[in-house]
Amino acid sequence: MDNISRRFRELIEHIIFAKLSPSTVRILWLIIVLLLFVSTAAIIFDVGGQPYNWFPIPVFLACLFFRQRGAYVLIPALGLLLFGLWMRQSDLEDLVLWSAFEFFKWCVTALFTIVTVELAMRYRRHELSLERDIEMARTLQRALIPRNCEIGRTRITGLMRQCRSVGGDFYYFRPFQEKYIVFCLGDIMGKGIPACMIMSIVMSFFFEWGKKSPSPATIMSLLNQRLLQLWGSENVWFTTLFYGVFNEENGVLTYASGGHDTALLQRKGGEIQLLQTEGLPVGAFEESTWVEVPVQLEGGDRVILFTDGLTEARDRKGNFIGFDKVMDIIRLHAHLGAQELIDLLEKTVLEHSQGEVSDDLAILIMEVKEGSVWSPSKNLKAE
């Protein structure tokens, strides 16, 4: 039934929004005129039980295809109705009564058709305008997300996939000073344009403050206070967040988590450990604090971050992929490069959800290049 309804809606939309060629216009008017004469003949020869009800058909078609211009068909229709009643030798009272009553019904039909079509066209124009705005927002959102690149001793690879045109999942990375690489991944509560706008605000703050301190807890505290100031009394937005600072000189990663518990460290040999620490989502509470944890990284190690769009992807029965399955995939395919692993995880989500993704998805992999050595003589920059 849903498929039939969709096809019927598509047919009506095609009829309403199609640009008619001059030859098509002439054919339609010819059909409408023929229907008017057929309706008149039905009255004269008393065909079809209630032949007066035939006239709304050409009136409806005229207004459907030609809008206000189609309403002009009411005048010849009224004339033909009077002619048909006169040919049936109706008395004057019946002629006036029936013609007035039928004409009123036609006017209602015409008005309803014209208003409905005009509203549909106005809605469609608004929809197209909104689609253009969303596409622009999507372009800007993509511009905010850094491209995959190599920075000093690290290689960073990411994926962004929104379940709508725009969304609230994001990742970010940048070098600062001579030896630090900052990277983070977050999930704004909600979806669509509002989440996209909040994401843009959060990323602008990271761009401003990410180079001010190598302390994740300090940056997250600054972000928390700034977001709470923006929300005011309407504190309805927050973001889960993993924030890491990698020291290129000594290979130490210092990280903090704001309610984000899907961060993994995969060692060169394939073994995996969770990167977890205490911390509430950012932008939720005034007195929130975050705990920093250091961990030593070696060449070939990589940090794998992802949002719940991966673990909570649903199939048509509502079943999740689940964290354990994601861990098994990562462990089993430890030999894959970062981009290959991301492609595999994305493919898993699409296959599990059968293409009907219900949540935004972001994946970020930061890996330490094997055999790389920190050089203080070289400034860090993205390549």
Is 140 part of a structural domain of the chain? no
The segments of the chain whose pLDDT lies below 50 read none
Long-range contacts, 308-311 (Cβ 8 Å, 24+): 308/187, 308/262, 308/359, 309/161, 309/163, 309/169, 309/187, 309/349, 309/357, 309/359, 309/360, 309/361, 309/362, 310/262, 310/345, 310/349, 310/361, 310/363, 311/262
Based on the fold, state whether residues 52 and 151 are members of the same structural domain: no
Based on the fold, state whether residues 111 and 160 are members of the same structural domain: no
Is 380 part of a structural domain of the chain? no
Please tell me the predicted confidence (pLDDT) of residue 343: 93
Domain boundary among 112, 135, 158: 135
Domain count, the chain: 2
212: domain range? Answer: 145-368
Is 382 part of a structural domain of the chain? no
Based on the fold, state whether residues 53 and 184 are members of the same structural domain: no
β-strand partners of 242: 185, 257
Please tell me the predicted confidence (pLDDT) of residue 90: 63
Domain boundary among 89, 111, 135: 135
CA angle 347, 194, 140 (to 5 degrees): 65
Based on the fold, state whether residues 155 and 131 are members of the same structural domain: no
Please tell me the predicted confidence (pLDDT) of residue 7: 74
Based on the fold, state whether residues 315 and 171 are members of the same structural domain: yes
Please tell me the predicted confidence (pLDDT) of residue 89: 67
Please tell me the predicted confidence (pLDDT) of residue 286: 82
Q: Supply the pTM of this predicted model.
A: 0.69
Based on the fold, state whether residues 119 and 195 are members of the same structural domain: no
* 380 close to 152: Cβ distance less than 8 angstroms: yes
Based on the fold, state whether residues 104 and 123 are members of the same structural domain: yes
Please tell me the predicted confidence (pLDDT) of residue 320: 87
Burial label, 120 (beta-carbon count in 10 A; 0-12, 13-18, 19+): middle
Please tell me the predicted confidence (pLDDT) of residue 265: 95
Based on the fold, state whether residues 170 and 46 are members of the same structural domain: no
Based on the fold, state whether residues 193 and 254 are members of the same structural domain: yes
Is 262 part of a structural domain of the chain? yes
β-strand partners of 302: 266, 367
Based on the fold, state whether residues 201 and 223 are members of the same structural domain: yes
Based on the fold, state whether residues 302 and 264 are members of the same structural domain: yes
Please tell me the predicted confidence (pLDDT) of residue 78: 86
Domain boundary among 109, 135, 161: 135
Based on the fold, state whether residues 220 and 283 are members of the same structural domain: yes
